[in-house]
Amino acid sequence: MKCSTTSLFLLAPLLISAVALGQPVLPPSAGVELSRAALIEQALTRSYALANNQAEQTKVKIEQQSLRNQYLPEVTFNPTFTHLDRDISITIPRLPYQPLPKEMYSGPYDLSQVIQRRNIGRATVSANMLLFSGTKIPTLNKALTAKGKAILAMADKERMAVIRDVAQAYDQLALVAKSEHVLTEADARLLAQTTFINRAVKEGLATPYDRSKVELAAQDLRAKHVELAGKRQLALARLTQLTGLPAGQLANIYPELTPLIADTLATDVDNRPEIRSLTFTEQAASYKQKATLAGYLPQAYAFGKNELRRQDLSAIEPFWYVGVGIRWTLFDKLAARSERRTAQQDVLMVQNSLNQTRELLTLNLAKARTEMATANQLLVVAQQRTTLARRALDIASKQYEQGLIRITERLEAESDFQKAELDYLQAIVNQRTTAIVQREATGDLVVADVQ
């Protein structure tokens, strides 16, 4: 009866984990696995940062189109109505003599004629079109093109951040799955140990104190199971937040956990998105500086006007006219000079930012390479410790069965082996994390690097 009760007590952590996750206890190979690449692609599709970057690129295209629209004609329709206080008329006074014979003209020589009624209605259409902007528009268009490339380069930074976040969450899920497998094997060994010590207590070969030690070890395993269940829920919540997939669809993932191959070839940061983005930003600032020269050059334009409704005095004006003109500002109160000097400072600021960013990223790469080397060494040490701990556990198990050591020493060997295995799994995760960070530090992180 004691053996059955203890067995049920030891299996309770597995049952608790299964109920908490809403899934049966399955071996790592039994889950319907979604690959890292599939989840990363899903996260990239859902990324708000990438969506905002795309919106920024669209805004640049709109600005370029707006700039090209400056060459389109500006057409104005101008209807007007004017009411005067009185009619406009002209009066010719009587002449002191009669210029024409009466046979030809016998009318009055004092003439009064209304030439404009007090109500005047007019309608005109006028157009103006820029022909030459003094190189300002083409230069600003080049600046916007460089700005678009800078924004596009920063999309790679957001993309690498998504890859890193999903890979880390996925690795955390793999760590939990592998740790659960380690604890499950420990449960099985402890269950066998419980059966052995119950029999030994009945035969007087062990004391109740020894059995209490085994039960205490079972409690420790139960606490570890509960802790892993919480970590699994957090990893699933993180993946749900990144990918938008429901937790129920992700709950059956039991991924593998293997070290990544370190990248030892890349030694510079020229491919980093920040470097490429600031390089294009510097080009954009240079083009803006050149665009300020347009303030010293003339502008050419075409114009035209057409009279749609002609009434009275409006008949004096032509029906329509077209022409070309040149507008050259000879003195603009030093506005162009101030704009040029401001643009020069913008170029200088971008160059300073580029130099500073390059130095910081170079330092970050050195740090990442150092951490990568350290993680690789610690992984080898952790693997060796696991081998030694396994060997010590086998020896302790045989010695305890032969009565050469006490149960406390046997449980210490079990605890050391569990810790060594869990530390080895954590060392793999740390090595994968540093490898991903190093790839990101050189700007070369892609989906294939985290498989």
Sign (positive/negative) of CA torsion 159, 162, 167, 170?
Answer: negative
Position 414 pLDDT exceeds 50: yes
Higher pLDDT, 128 or 87: 128
- Given a contact cutoff of 8 angstroms between Cβ atoms, the answer to whether 121 and 80 are in contact is yes
Position 28 pLDDT exceeds 60: no
- Given a contact cutoff of 8 angstroms between Cβ atoms, the answer to whether 201 and 52 are in contact is no
Average pLDDT over residues 250-263: 84
Q: What percent of the chain has pLDDT over 90?
A: 51
Average pLDDT over residues 331-356: 91
Residue by residue, DSSP assigns 281-340 as HHHHHHHHHHHGGGGGS-EEEEEEEEEEE--GGGGGS-SEEEEEEEE--S--TTHHHHHH
Identify the band that residue 25 occupies on the pLDDT scale cut at 50, 70 and 90: very low
Whole-number pLDDT of residue 264: 65
Whole-number pLDDT of residue 288: 92
Q: What percent of the chain has pLDDT over 70?
A: 84
Whole-number pLDDT of residue 22: 36
Which residues, including other chains, have CB under 8 Å from residue 323's CB and lie 6 or more apart?
302, 303, 304
Which residues, including other chains, have CB under 8 Å from residue 167's CB and lie 6 or more apart?
36, 40, 432, 436, 450
Please report, for residues 42, 246, 435, 440, 447, the alpha-carbon distance to residue 162 in angstroms, rounded to integers and kept in the order given. Answer: 10, 18, 15, 11, 10
What gap in Å lies between CA 410 and CA 399, rounded to an integer?
Answer: 8
Whole-number pLDDT of residue 31: 38
Identify the band that residue 98 occupies on the pLDDT scale cut at 50, 70 and 90: low
Whole-number pLDDT of residue 9: 36
Identify the band that residue 51 occupies on the pLDDT scale cut at 50, 70 and 90: very high
Helices 407-442 and 208-243: angle between axes, nearest 10 degrees:
20
Position 19 pLDDT exceeds 80: no
Higher pLDDT, 74 or 208: 74
Whole-number pLDDT of residue 422: 95
Identify the band that residue 92 occupies on the pLDDT scale cut at 50, 70 and 90: low
Tokens of 207: 């004391």
Tokens of 358: 């390059």
Tokens of 426: 């954590």
Which residues, including other chains, have CB under 8 Å from residue 127's CB and lie 6 or more apart?
73, 74, 75, 76, 302, 303, 304, 305
Q: Which of the residue ranges 64-78, 140-154, 256-270 would you say has the lowest mean pLDDT?
A: 256-270
Tokens of 349: 């600021």
DSSP category for residue 71 = G
Average pLDDT over residues 198-213: 78
Average pLDDT over residues 20-27: 37
Q: pLDDT tens digit string along 141-187?
A: 999 999 999 999 999 999 999 999 999 999 999 999 999 999 999 98
Residue (of 449, 425, 424, 448) closest to 436 by Cα position = 449
Position 398 pLDDT exceeds 80: yes
Whole-number pLDDT of residue 208: 81
Whole-number pLDDT of residue 198: 81
Position 139 pLDDT exceeds 90: yes
Identify the band that residue 93 occupies on the pLDDT scale cut at 50, 70 and 90: low
Q: How many CA atoms lie within 13 A of 380 on its CB side?
A: 5
Whole-number pLDDT of residue 190: 86
Q: pLDDT tens digit string along 282-322?
A: 999 999 999 988 888 888 989 888 887 766 555 556 678 88
Q: pLDDT tens digit string along 217-232?
A: 889 999 999 999 999 9
